[in-house]
Structure 1
Amino acid sequence: MRLVDLTVTLDPANREKLPPALSRAAGVVAPTIEYLHPAEAGGKNEFCLSLGCRHEDLPDGEGWGAERLSDMSTHCGTHVDAPLHSGSRIAGKAARTITDIGLEELYRPAMVLDVRAWAKGGEPITIEMLDRAIEAAGRPVQQGDAVLIRTGQERYTMDDREYFNQPGMSREGTLHLTRMGATVLGTDAIGWDLPFPVMTARFREGGDKRSLWDGHKAITEREAFIVQQLTNLGSLPLSGFHVGFFPIKLANCSAAPARVVAFVPE
């Protein structure tokens, strides 16, 4: 069994790469981290405060290593969206939170839908594109599948404007996958939907409120879990593997950062 890590690193340095217009969303990229190193004052002070000693009393001259996290969204980095993120009611019932989801629902047979040949930045991923990628994967979407969309966004870094101009999923595309049985929907892009400026422009031009965040809002019709900011999808076969999407157990939250790992038979 080969393990493939599909999780981005939560690196505070990435916060500095965000364009000014997105600085308020820095907590979605990475937390602020205060590092307390065992050989430095921070780690030594923490040790001494907790154990009632002085720096000169430290057994090896060092304290302990610790970190303090702040300004971190529950949607930080690679994360699982619970249905609550899309709305308070899902298919007529109260929306589930992260702590309502069982682990068995988050370890699923998976397939990669590679739409790189057709998808364009800032434009919808169409049903036709999805169907062509399903055909290339060699099997249909089955009930309980995790479907991972490879958009090609891995070729950009956060200091490239195109990183934030991802191809996005629409209501129609999302429902196309969930109606076939997909229960986990993943993407290598920073968002499942079209970029916010694109959705805003469409709304202002047409006045149709259904165009706002329509990929996520499709979950209110058919429940599924959306996983964003995946990486390393190019290391996977198109089918024949499982993925574990295991979020931090944050009580009653709409999302949580996750360690996402693919289990690929040798």
Structure 2
Amino acid sequence: MRVIDLSVSISEKVKEPLPTEIAYETHEECADNMGKILFKDLEGDIFMNNMGLAGEVINLATHSGTHVDAPYHYSPTCNGKPSRTIDELPLEWFFSDGVVLDFTDKPEGYLIEPEDLIEKLSEINYTLKPYDIVLIRCDADKRIHEDNYVKIHVGASAKATHWLIDQGVKVVGTDGWGWDIPLHLQIEKFKQNPKQGIIWEAHYVGIDKEYCQIEKLANLEQLPPFGFKVSCFPTKIEKASAGWTRAVAIIE
């Protein structure tokens, strides 16, 4: 069995607008801080080698790093009912057969339509089934520390997202910054045609149909087109719109 890491590191080096701050506490600092707080009534050398236990304090958005968006992220309601938050979703969604669709042959910012998905599935001779986890590869993860990282991924249209959900898919993913096309391209389209439905068109599919999307995946080039499992259980954060995940692929 092989286990392939599909996650990026949570890091201050990632070039995206969401803030990430990590305060690292060394063993020496911990000995001083913890000694004053937890062990203030003790005397003498209480830590081995005068060193405490290292730790970190992180200021992090739930949409930073490799994460799963919950239906609540897209809208307060889905199909007329309250949208589910990340802690309310069935765990069965997040461990299932994976499918990789390779869009590295398309330019940055390419808008994926249903016919593109059908063509890619035909190329790998695969038919989607309910609960498959569909992963879009464009290798944007290889440039995650570049200044233009948020501008280089391909994105799905609303029609493509509807089509995947209609095949029974509940979880989709991308190794790009977001599931929609890059934001600067959405802005350009809105300026040409200022109306609702231009900005976040794929995200807003969640107003009508329940699904989750994984953003900022990695290492999809290491996977076969299919024949593997994806594990992407999200962190259980009460009433949250997303949760971080250590997504992995399991190949028997």
1:219 is matched with which residue? 206
Q: Distance in 2 between matches of 1:58 and 1:11?
A: 30
How far the C-alpha of 1:219 sits from its partner, in A, is: 2.0
Structure 1, residues 243-262: CA drift from partner, whole Å, max 9, x if none? 11111110010101111111
Paired amino acid for 2:112: I
Instruction: List gaps (5 residues or longer) in structure 2.
Output: none
1:180 is matched with which residue? 167
Q: Distance in 1 between matches of 2:142 and 2:82?
A: 39
How many residues align structurally?
A: 251
Q: TM-score by structure 1 length?
A: 0.88
Matched, 1:60 2:49: yes
Q: Distance in 2 between matches of 1:54 and 1:36?
A: 23
Matches within 5 A, 1:25-104: 25-27=17-19, 31-38=20-27, 40-52=28-40, 53=42, 56-70=45-59, 72-104=60-92
8 Å Cα contact 1:246-1:260 kept in structure 2: yes
Over the matched positions of the two proteins, sequence identity in percent amounts to 29
Paired amino acid for 1:12: E
Matched, 1:10 2:10: yes
SS in structure 2 at match of 1:10: coil
SS in structure 2 at match of 1:198: helix
Matched, 1:171 2:158: yes
RMSD after superposition = 1.8
SS in structure 1 at match of 2:226: coil
Task: Report the CA distance shift for 1:144/1:51 in structure 2 as closer, same or farther (over 3 A).
Answer: same
How far the C-alpha of 1:192 sits from its partner, in A, is: 0.5
8 Å Cα contact 1:244-1:261 kept in structure 2: yes
Paired amino acid for 2:50: G
Paired amino acid for 2:93: E
Q: Distance in 2 between matches of 1:220 and 1:26?
A: 24
Q: Distance in 1 between matches of 2:44 and 2:234?
A: 38
8 Å Cα contact 1:115-1:129 kept in structure 2: no
Q: 1:189 aligns with which of 153, 176, 180?
A: 176
Q: TM-score by structure 2 length?
A: 0.93
Matched, 1:150 2:137: yes
How far the C-alpha of 1:157 sits from its partner, in A, is: 3.2
Task: Report the CA distance shift for 1:48/1:198 in structure 2 as closer, same or farther (over 3 A).
Answer: same
8 Å Cα contact 2:95-2:231 kept in structure 1: yes
Q: 1:120 aligns with which of 65, 83, 107?
A: 107
SS in structure 2 at match of 1:26: coil
Q: Distance in 2 between matches of 1:57 and 1:229?
A: 43
Instruction: List gaps (5 residues or longer) in structure 1.
Output: none
How far the C-alpha of 1:147 sits from its partner, in A, is: 0.3
8 Å Cα contact 2:236-2:243 kept in structure 1: yes
Structure with the largest fraction of helix = 1
8 Å Cα contact 1:244-1:260 kept in structure 2: yes
How far the C-alpha of 1:160 sits from its partner, in A, is: 4.3
Task: Report the CA distance shift for 1:46/1:175 in structure 2 as closer, same or farther (over 3 A).
Answer: same
Q: Which has the higher mean CA deviation after the structures are superposed, 180-189 or 126-135? A: 126-135
Structure 1, residues 203-228: CA drift from partner, whole Å, max 9, x if none? 12112211110011112222111100
Paired amino acid for 2:67: H
Task: Report the CA distance shift for 1:12/1:54 in structure 2 as closer, same or farther (over 3 A).
Answer: farther
Q: Distance in 2 between matches of 1:186 and 1:84?
A: 17
